[in-house]
Homo-oligomer: A and B are copies of this chain.
Amino acid sequence: MDIYSRLTEEIIEELESVLDSGGVITKNIDVLENYSWDQAGRIWGHMPEAVVLPKNTEQVSSVMKIASRYRIPVTPRGAGSGLNGGAVPLAGGIVISLERMNSIIEIDPVNRVAVVEPGVVTNDLCRAAAEKGFMYAGYPMSTETSFIGGNFATNAGGGKVVRYGSTRRHILGAEAVLPSGEVISLGGRFRKDTWGYNILQLLIGSEGTLAVITKLIVNLEPKPGKTVNLLACYPDIDTLVESVSKVISSGKKIISCEFMDRNLVRYTTEYLGCRLPEQEKSEGYLIIQIEADNEGELEESYEVVGKICMSCGAFEVFVAESRTDSAAMWNVRQNGLEGMRAKDPWACSSGDLMVPLSAVPEMLRRINSAGREWGLEMGIISHIGDGNIHPIPIKPEGMSPEKWAVYSEEFFEALIKEAISLGGVGSGEHGVGHVKQHIIIQSKSPAELELLRNIKRSFDPLNILNPGKMFLPLGN
């Protein structure tokens, strides 16, 4: 960590000279503390020396030029809703928060794109798109808090990936500030190109370690037609997973295919004071959202999907007859983490596992078996249509929160190793940050790790941008 300069009065004055009034925070420890951690928890945090709040690309560029000149670490930050410490300024230095760059610059209906700044809250973009008759489809579950820039940084997934793909598919262009302060423009208002290496795609999911994004051009989809929600109840997990694969291959417009296990449903319905149908008998539930252009198509679609579920072994499939019915099922899904936390405030969703769909039954078995081995009770939710699983273990009684912070991560590490052994990876949508760093390093071959380091060096020879993250430990 000696390679970096500390912020001097002189450097702070330089920063102040390039930012607007109030754009540099260095003295207010309470404010700095707010920028020292993300949803991984305070235990994974680290204090910055300064927080800067740029209002435009030029200011971001100026900050990076100063940081380059003095070799000061800079950590870009969106809403801080990440789960793996990606936005934590691990080496101190400057946090560059994009919260003031929150304009929806344009909704362009002819090219079906929106041009936005990185600090736009995902749902604000969704609403603005909806007003013009479009949909922004690349959004995570945390739509009301996460920034579009953070979605970009983690290649965020969410509940609609089955139909629309992850964030990667919806990013068409970007303006990016390199660690040197140089500004480059990537992609544009079009959907394909082959005109040099696709740097844009490389930046998506790079967790702010290669460039600071200051503008995005995102794809808009036509507004979906009518939708219906089904709730299918299963006596066992294997038949449930068999349905998933068949439902997705049915050719119907499946928007979401979400899984909840018995335990998660139990605690969450207790928390919400509600019940799902067949709750005594069901080992697991699927919520399936289907889209169609009209009532006739919708009815045909849910009949086909319902029959698939039944023929695979579901003992009941409920069609939500009303908005209230739909809201009731989704309410359980969306409050899964809160439900587990009502049972135990230390319940943690410390990441996500990604496996091929064919490996989901075995992965679920291994998660449950590992839970028993580690003495952990848990609930499981899953974007199961993607093979993306979120186990939520709760702290064993009597274990200290400090020990739990480490124990739960060790448990998660064991699960990631299982996922990798089944042909998966350690994260489908939450990324690596520094919390999962030791795991990613173990999971990649020396040749790939060298390549990753070389790529990082191509962009950031001084290693000032978000140092200590992903595959590159601090001090390397």
Contacts and interface: CB of A to CB of B under 8 A. Distances in A.
Interface stretch (A141-149, A306-314, A401-409, A449-457): A449-457
A293 interface: yes
Interface in A168-221: 168-169, 178, 180, 182-185, 188-199, 201-202, 204-207, 210
A300 B293 CA distance: 10
A157 B225 contact: no
A169 B447 CA distance: 26
Interface stretch (A27-35, A242-250, A255-263): A242-250
A376 to B, nearest CB: 24
Nearest to A112: B249
Interface in A419-476: 423-432, 440, 443-445, 447-448, 451-452, 454-459, 470-471
Interface of A: 108-112, 133-134, 154-157, 161, 165-166, 168-169, 178, 180, 182-185, 188-199, 201-202, 204-207, 210, 222-225, 245, 248-252, 293-294, 296-297, 300-301, 354-358, 386-388, 423-432, 440, 443-445, 447-448, 451-452, 454-459, 470-471
A223 B251 contact: yes
A354 B205 contact: no
B196 A470 contact: yes
Count identical subunits in the complex: 2
B165 A169 contact: yes
A225 B197 contact: no
Nearest to A181: B447
Contact of A109 (B154, B249, B354): B249
A248 B221 CA distance: 10
